[in-house]
Amino acid sequence: MANTEFGHTVRRWRDRASPEAAGLPVGGHRRAAGLRREELALLAGISVDYVTRLEQGRATNPSVQVVEALSRALRLSAAEREHLFGVARLVPPGQGTVPAYITPGVQRMLDRLTATPVAVYDAAWTLLLANPLYAALMGEWHGKDRNAVWRNFLGSGTRARHTPESRRALEASQVTGLRATAGRYPADQRLRRLIAELRAGSDRFAELWDAGAVEQYEAPHKTVDHPQVGVVTLDCDVLSVAGSDLRIMIYTTEPGSRDAEQLALLTVLGTQALVGRS
């Protein structure tokens, strides 16, 4: 196969990866030495079938985004990340493109916040990494839906509730943020394609973009309609990582509140699916 080495490399590093270090629940009999394919797929935000085909050499042309996601999920060092791009016959993203590298410090922080929904987004609001509780709360996204701007204008939307006014404010703020990101990374072709597709596919996005919308939308609270635990209202904070242009989104609840109880229940329900798989 044209890319057997890439598959073998992913499998070898998956076998050495620690589920505990990834913040995943460990229980029952595990045939896999390290991460299961389902777990790697969850951490990388790609399908289990695609992970299987990559490891078996049946998928031979992974994209830059897939290789970057796998390198994050596997906790690769800078040298190992470069090697993974090399065996994929790709060049790692360089200067002038939206950064997607998650520093070890940020990764360790996510590992420790197992009872808190946490996700990391890049400067274009593409989801890079989410811990299991965030995925359980907000759902899993794949493909273009991993970008929050795409998701809101053209995709499947989210579980978060919005009034007409708050949705309009969010849309204007997302266009403002994407315009600023495009100004900082003018050489990023993927970002250019995203903007072009949004302008072509959404009249609302095109209207805001052409009007030069400048608005900041801050939502200190978010209400989520969850299919298992019902309505949950959480505090929503977005932190910036100095020097990397990453955004860390953290959801918390008031201790002792009904929302805290629902989140605790979701901690159990949302991660059960991973326990007992092989």
Over 60: is that where the pLDDT of 1 sits? Answer: no
Over 60: is that where the pLDDT of 2 sits? Answer: no
Average pLDDT over all residues of the chain: 87
The dihedral region occupied by 90, where left means phi > 0, alpha psi between -120 and 50, and beta the remainder, is beta
Over 70: is that where the pLDDT of 276 sits? Answer: no
* pLDDT at residue 25 in the model: 66
CATH number of 4-23+34-87: 1.10.260.40
- With vertex at residue 77, the alpha carbon angle to CA 71 and CA 83, rounded to the nearest 5 degrees, is 65
Domain limits, CATH 3.30.450.180, in the chain = 104-272
Over 70: is that where the pLDDT of 93 sits? Answer: yes
CATH number of 104-272: 3.30.450.180
Domain limits, CATH 1.10.260.40, in the chain = 4-23+34-87
Rounded to an integer, the average pLDDT of 133-141 is 91
**54-92 pLDDT, tens digit each:** 999 998 889 988 998 899 889 888 788 889 988 998 877
What pLDDT band is residue 268 in, cutting at 50, 70 and 90?
confident
* pTM of the complete model: 0.72
Over 70: is that where the pLDDT of 259 sits? Answer: yes
* pLDDT at residue 23 in the model: 64
Side chain identity at residue 227, one-letter code: P
Over 80: is that where the pLDDT of 219 sits? Answer: no
Comparing CA positions, the residue from 199, 118, 213, 134 lying closest to residue 170 is 213
